Structure 1
């Protein structure tokens, strides 16, 4: 094994470690919903290569309005799925889509793009 093969192998191992860290160990941006008039909990979410914020905390038993602004044309992000609430929405590019739900149970509920590559979590307390 010559030096170039060693460097390529070390580079590959480093990149694999970086990908594992990013998907499993990096910190996530957590936001608590803001209560508006009438007790409606509101959160603005930007969709651009992922969801920002990607962890959203809300209170159980109060209505929630998630406002998804899709700031890209990437085909992966054109659909939103929240399976535990039986929600499926198309997200048009450069527009805001409102998603309203009423969480009745505490827990962690995932939301994803149609391909399952972009992921977020709704934490109901």
Structure 2
């Protein structure tokens, strides 16, 4: 291989690494859910090119309500799935859809689209 082939190969590997880190690398922080007068911890989640926020921090032992608003028409964003709770919901474009979850123990719970490409986490703390 000559020098130009090596440069293209190295740049390609660096780009693959950057893409992998962006999508699957460690994420920090999170948005804190607010406690409403109904007693639920609530967070609004925008669905557009993923979930925003994708990490929501809640307190253990209190029920949770997420309100999803889908702002795109891609097939991947049609549904949200909470596998640990056997819950899922269709997300029509432009409508707010509420999903209630029971009080949870401390830990991390995933939520995804039906294809597993959009990912989020519920971080439960004491």
RMSD of equivalent CA atoms: 1.5
Identify if the C-alpha distance between structure 1 residues 25 and 69 changes in structure 2 by more than 3 Å, giving closer, same or farther.
same
Distance 1:78 1:103 in 2: 26
Equivalent pair of 1:76/1:113 in contact (CA under 8 Å): yes
| Pairing 1:1-80 to 2, within 5 Å after superposition | 1-25=1-25, 27-28=27-28, 30-80=30-80
Secondary structure in structure 2 of the residue aligned to 1:98: strand
Give me the whole-angstrom Cα distance separating, in 2, the residues matched to 1:98 and 1:62: 16
Distance 1:120 1:98 in 2: 16
Write the mapping of 1:88-99 to structure 2, written as runs, cut at 5 A: 88-99=88-99
Moved more, 34-43 or 112-121: 34-43
How far is 1:61 from its partner? 2.0
TM-score (norm 1): 0.90
Give the Cα separation in 2 of the matches to 1:17 and 1:7: 15
- Judge conservation of contact 2:81–2:87 (CA < 8 Å) in 1: yes
Contact 2:63 2:104 in 1 (8 A): no
8 Å Cα contact 1:68-1:96 kept in structure 2:
yes
Q: SS in structure 2 opposite 1:42?
A: strand
1:29–1:118 distance in 2 versus 1, CA, 3 Å:
farther
Q: Deviations over 1:83-104 (max 9, x none)?
A: 1111111111122111011123
TM-score normalised per structure 2 = 0.90
What 5-or-longer segments of structure 2 have no aligned partner?
A: none
Q: Which runs of no fewer than 5 residues in structure 1 stay unpaired?
A: none
* Whole-angstrom distance in 2 between the partners of 1:29 and 1:60: 17
